[in-house]
Structure 1
Amino acid sequence: MDNEVEPVAADDTLMIVNRSKKYWVNKQSICSSIPYLGKMFSSGILEPNDKKVVLDFDERAFDMIIRHANLDGVIIEMDCVIKLYNLADHLMIENELLEDCSSYFYSNFSLENLEVVIPQVSKESKLFNVAALETFICRHFLKISNSAAFLDYSVDTIEYICKLNLVISSEYQVIQAITKWIGANDTRKIHLIRLLKCVRWCFYNYDLLSFSQDELMKSADLTSLVCTPDKCNCNCVYNRSNRKCFVVIYELDSSNVNIKILNNKFIMLFSDNFELNESMSLNILHDEHVCDVFFDSGSKGIRFDWNSKKYRWHDFSIYSKCYYTQLQKCISKNVEEKWSHLRTDANTKQNLSPLPYCHEMAILENKENLMLIGKIKKGRFIYTVPLPTKLSKYALKEDKARSFIATVLSNVIYIMNRNFEFIEFNLDDGSFKKSKPFDGDKFNFDDLALTSHQSRDSKVILVDKSTRDIFTFDVSSGKWWSIGRINRRSSKNDEKSTKLLAFTSALLSIDHIKPRSKRKLISLDQ
């Protein structure tokens, strides 16, 4: 803009000096548009007759503020939107500018612009703070590290990400992300040791001999990095690979639920009541004390706030606007439908074109990807990975209309249908198995839930929500076991906990979970 704007009246001209830039503006008009400046005069910081004010704000953001005050066009861009919002808020501007900044940021944030967002955020950021950013990165690290954008990040960004309290199941996943990034460009090999220092070797559960065939890893002196809990020479704050847990949700009444967190041994760590709040945001970017849990083969989801003890149900009625699709768009803006059959006989075609009509679908999270499973005619199943950002036909059924339930563990999809057939589809070798383990039992299919951890586990869990009975399938032996019944009440305060809505696996950050006991919760093994 032209910084030497001719004022309407010379006596009412104010010169604003902001770092290296100068602006000549109408004093009355600018004080009306930017209340902060008016306060400087009315509070005595500046004298009424002062013709000059010296400021020290981000130059680009302040220049946009002046443009906006002069009714000039302002183009909001991702590399300045948080700075602009923060400055507008600091200058006490309360108009459409704040709303435009917020709408633009939350509608356009993606992994492609992560690097321009990182330097803008701080603990005090109003629009989006560093805690919320790191919450997003930590929860979705595996998806981020599997994205195309990840390979284009600078070494500083990779180091920043890998040092966080990531939600992972193994430190090996961090090593994989590092070597994948380095492998994308030979000149990056010089950063190997620097990035391997981000690994929390105290909690690395594999033998170092596993790297004996890896030429890149063999070039590093791992003995200088590796440590143990009793001899720690790195910043191993706590075990970030121990995030697996189970979430149990009881309905108390139409607007209250009880949520329990169990560790992998089904020992309860947390139990509290949460109240419905329909005004909670369902954006994929949220505060660090907010958590999402999905269940019933991805057909239902709940967001709850550890601090306020509020919750809200996710809405999957419109595919293009639901949580899953928004997350996939953030990771990769355009993902096409690429369907394949889950083979049940030798004559089944692998690839599908055109797409047959899907009567029913389920969305599952498998380590670094979201996947979609569809049921087509003759009881056959198809799948696509990753989740398409647009879908031609979609039907995520409610409980009473479901004809199958599903979960995924490592690279095997497990499905149970209304005939109580249990089907195992191995995505690696294309093999499948069918069995009918509960042929003689009297289940109500609509009361069943199938769940499992995403990886590094050996069991699939079937829950009868009406009786609260739990059965586990051992993937190694191929045998089913009855392991007991979920306790309905855990304290006198749980008297109303009668209807079991969900029993599902989850990966949760424990940083904001307050355990039932007074001791600090530092591990999900407690």
Structure 2
Amino acid sequence: MDRVDQNYEEELIIVNRKCEYYVSKKFICSVVPYFKKLFSGDELESRENKVTLDFDESAFDALLNWLHSGLFVMQMDYVINFYAAAKRLRISKRLFKPCFEYFHKNFTIKYLPLVLTQVKKSSKLINLEVIDIFICRHFLKIANTDTFLDYPVETLEHILKLDLMIYSEYQVFESIRKWVNKNTDSRKEFLSKLLRLVRWSFMDPVGLSKIKENEFIKALKKFDSGFNRTQQNFFVSIQELDHYSKIRINIFDKDLFCLPIGDFTLDDTMPLELFHGEHISDILFDSGKLGIRIDWNQKTFIGLNIDNGETYYTKMHQSIVNFQDDRREYSCYLDDQATELPDDTPANEYLLLEYNDGFVCIGETLDDKRFFGIFPVTDPNWFIDYPDHYTLHATILNNTVYLLTANFLFFQWNMETRSYNEIELVKGVDKLAHNKLILTSLPTEDDKVILVDKSTGKFHVYCIHEKKWFEKYQIFNVNPDSKDSYFDFDKLVAFTSTFLPIKNIKPLFRRNFL
């Protein structure tokens, strides 16, 4: 920053809340357009040597240091307020990049209460909508931390009012119960107010059965908000068009009713920070090995960085998983004995699967080629050194992992009972190309596991309750504008389940069930 001679006679007094500063009026007007305009002209105010401001004290102090020395010390406690003050004083142009990079590099959920006190809908560095979308998408993981239990009640109220991406309203109730129980004496007075943020009419029968004896909760069932937060998980298909510079996306509900969304174009300039707006989604597919970021408004996409450098998984661990409690974690071999996994067991390969309120690690050991699991996984090494080769396919439905190996062994592992059960594959699957298969399911409230053959578009559906396979569906790719019915199933890139901001996605047509 350019300097002027600060051996001055005229001082300007700046009063900012509880602090009073004495600065060179000539200097401050030469480097801060806000003051230059304020003290130019013939008005009485321009001839005065005192001005009163109302900025965060730490932020303004850091700004004055920067203006006088070119140096400032930044903290998460006031980075948003720092940039907001700079914006108001019209000196923010050179500060956006360092502030933006600092925030995204250092944010973790422990700073969420501080961030919520600083951020507004109109904030330029990062706005309230972006923070709320992050909370909605990752609420279950956030609520599964000791950090969440230390949040002030104001933060909890803000979070629970949002359209959280959850599987059951019981999960919201449980988060309140755990928070209150952390310090019952001082928090029980907030219980009534917080329980009104549970959307009781959308509570599933299983959740209601767990709390039906609580008379106070019964009386609260009439308090509701309109949007059903539990209906935000869908199947998504991604087809490759034009050598992956364009893709086609369809959304499917639980019963595989399809809503076409349209074609999306590759945009290598899309930012990949963990925070994004409500019109953007991150979709992991192929058992978490690959990922894509979708902008539903702009109809653009970019691939997520999964296995190199600062990846999606390293950001997730730094921001959330690092604060999760590992006391309930267990690891074992996935077989009849469920023997405990030795420490420092090297892995030949492994998968990270998002499950409910955290991540699960499923892999194969390096030496004896045995399959293992870590439930849930919190150690940073599993998130940092993610492998770049994979042969396993896996999905999780309710409390059970379904795993398909390179040798076409298919089995299920119940994470609660720690029980193993081998499942006979549908006839002929072992003759298919292993790398052309997709194994997927909804995470909960369903009874089917789907094995998709990308080369033919056929769906092999395993019905859990009937313990039978059905070849029930097939995806066709026929151009309705062409006279030729030729189709090419190699274009099917992904079929997976994920949370989606369905309110912000516009399909090519709408459907209402009567």
TM-score relative to the length of structure 1: 0.87
Seen in structure 2, the aligned counterparts of structure 1 residues 90 and 235 have a Cα distance that, compared at 3 Å, is farther
The answer for the alignment partner of 2:169 in structure 1 is 171
Q: Please state how far the C-alpha of 1:35 moved relative to its aligned partner.
A: 2.5
The answer for the alignment partner of 2:16 in structure 1 is 18
Q: Please state how far the C-alpha of 1:467 moved relative to its aligned partner.
A: 0.8
Matched, 1:472 2:472: no
Q: Please state how far the C-alpha of 1:44 moved relative to its aligned partner.
A: 7.6
Number of equivalenced pairs: 499
Residue pair 2:476, 2:487 contacting (<8 A) in 1 also: no
Matched, 1:396 2:394: no
Q: Please state how far the C-alpha of 1:133 moved relative to its aligned partner.
A: 0.7
Secondary structure of 2:503's aligned partner: coil
The answer for the alignment partner of 1:505 in structure 2 is 497
Q: Which of 51-60 and 476-485 deviates more?
A: 51-60
The answer for the alignment partner of 1:249 in structure 2 is 238
Matched, 1:281 2:271: yes
Q: Please state how far the C-alpha of 1:434 moved relative to its aligned partner.
A: 1.2
Q: Which of 505-514 and 164-173 deviates more?
A: 505-514
Unaligned runs of 5+ in 1: 1-5, 228-233
The answer for the alignment partner of 2:506 in structure 1 is 514
Residue pair 2:141, 2:321 contacting (<8 A) in 1 also: no
Residue pair 1:7, 1:24 contacting (<8 A) in 2 also: no
Seen in structure 2, the aligned counterparts of structure 1 residues 130 and 45 have a Cα distance that, compared at 3 Å, is farther
2 CA distance for matches of 1:382 and 1:273? 39
The answer for the alignment partner of 1:224 in structure 2 is 219
Matches within 5 A, 1:99-178: 99-178=97-176
Seen in structure 2, the aligned counterparts of structure 1 residues 202 and 45 have a Cα distance that, compared at 3 Å, is farther
Secondary structure of 2:504's aligned partner: coil
Matched, 1:258 2:248: yes
1 CA distance for matches of 2:42 and 2:379? 59
The answer for the alignment partner of 2:307 in structure 1 is 317
Q: Which digits, 9 at most, give the CA deviation of each residue in 1:151-196, with x for residues without a partner?
A: 1112222222111100011111111111121222222333222211
Seen in structure 2, the aligned counterparts of structure 1 residues 289 and 497 have a Cα distance that, compared at 3 Å, is farther
The answer for the alignment partner of 1:210 in structure 2 is 210
The answer for the alignment partner of 1:230 in structure 2 is none
Secondary structure of 1:15's aligned partner: strand
The answer for the alignment partner of 2:347 in structure 1 is 358
The answer for the alignment partner of 1:3 in structure 2 is none
Q: Please state how far the C-alpha of 1:109 moved relative to its aligned partner.
A: 1.0
Q: Please state how far the C-alpha of 1:393 moved relative to its aligned partner.
A: 9.0
Q: Please state how far the C-alpha of 1:250 moved relative to its aligned partner.
A: 0.9
Q: Please state how far the C-alpha of 1:73 moved relative to its aligned partner.
A: 4.9
RMSD, aligned α-carbons:
2.9
Q: Which digits, 9 at most, give the CA deviation of each residue in 1:463-484, with x for residues without a partner?
A: 1111111122122222111111
2 CA distance for matches of 1:238 and 1:490? 37
Q: Which digits, 9 at most, give the CA deviation of each residue in 1:13-64, with x for residues without a partner?
A: 3333434543332233223332222244468878765544443433432232
Q: Please state how far the C-alpha of 1:374 moved relative to its aligned partner.
A: 1.5
The answer for the alignment partner of 1:8 in structure 2 is 7
Secondary structure of 1:221's aligned partner: helix
Seen in structure 2, the aligned counterparts of structure 1 residues 473 and 196 have a Cα distance that, compared at 3 Å, is same
Residue pair 1:110, 1:331 contacting (<8 A) in 2 also: yes
Equivalent position to 2:396, from 400, 408, 423: 408
Equivalent position to 2:442, from 436, 439, 453: 453
Matched, 1:433 2:424: no
Q: Please state how far the C-alpha of 1:489 moved relative to its aligned partner.
A: 4.9
Residue pair 1:304, 1:310 contacting (<8 A) in 2 also: yes
Q: Please state how far the C-alpha of 1:487 moved relative to its aligned partner.
A: 3.5
Residue pair 1:258, 1:497 contacting (<8 A) in 2 also: no
2 CA distance for matches of 1:195 and 1:497? 53
Q: Which digits, 9 at most, give the CA deviation of each residue in 1:408-457, with x for residues without a partner?
A: 11221111122322111111122111133234343211110001122222
The answer for the alignment partner of 2:32 in structure 1 is 34
2 CA distance for matches of 1:305 and 1:42? 46
The one-letter amino acid paired with 1:503 is F
2 CA distance for matches of 1:147 and 1:459? 31
The answer for the alignment partner of 1:198 in structure 2 is 197
Residue pair 1:361, 1:394 contacting (<8 A) in 2 also: no
Equivalent position to 1:290, from 280, 286, 291: 280
Secondary structure of 2:449's aligned partner: strand
Seen in structure 2, the aligned counterparts of structure 1 residues 274 and 391 have a Cα distance that, compared at 3 Å, is same
Seen in structure 2, the aligned counterparts of structure 1 residues 52 and 334 have a Cα distance that, compared at 3 Å, is closer
The one-letter amino acid paired with 1:470 is F
Residue pair 2:307, 2:388 contacting (<8 A) in 1 also: no
Q: Please state how far the C-alpha of 1:116 moved relative to its aligned partner.
A: 0.8
Q: Please state how far the C-alpha of 1:224 moved relative to its aligned partner.
A: 2.4
Matched, 1:373 2:373: no
Secondary structure of 1:351's aligned partner: coil
Seen in structure 2, the aligned counterparts of structure 1 residues 91 and 428 have a Cα distance that, compared at 3 Å, is same
Matches within 5 A, 1:482-497: 482-489=471-478, 492=481
Residue pair 2:285, 2:494 contacting (<8 A) in 1 also: yes
2 CA distance for matches of 1:36 and 1:161? 36
Q: Please state how far the C-alpha of 1:334 moved relative to its aligned partner.
A: 6.9
The one-letter amino acid paired with 1:259 is I
Unaligned runs of 5+ in 2: none
Secondary structure of 2:95's aligned partner: helix
Secondary structure of 1:70's aligned partner: helix
Secondary structure of 2:158's aligned partner: helix
Q: Please state how far the C-alpha of 1:368 moved relative to its aligned partner.
A: 0.5
Seen in structure 2, the aligned counterparts of structure 1 residues 307 and 49 have a Cα distance that, compared at 3 Å, is same
Identity among equivalent positions (%) equals 36
Residue pair 2:438, 2:453 contacting (<8 A) in 1 also: yes
Secondary structure of 2:322's aligned partner: coil
Residue pair 2:237, 2:496 contacting (<8 A) in 1 also: yes
Seen in structure 2, the aligned counterparts of structure 1 residues 275 and 392 have a Cα distance that, compared at 3 Å, is closer
Secondary structure of 1:128's aligned partner: coil
TM-score relative to the length of structure 2: 0.89
Q: Which of 268-277 and 111-120 deviates more?
A: 268-277
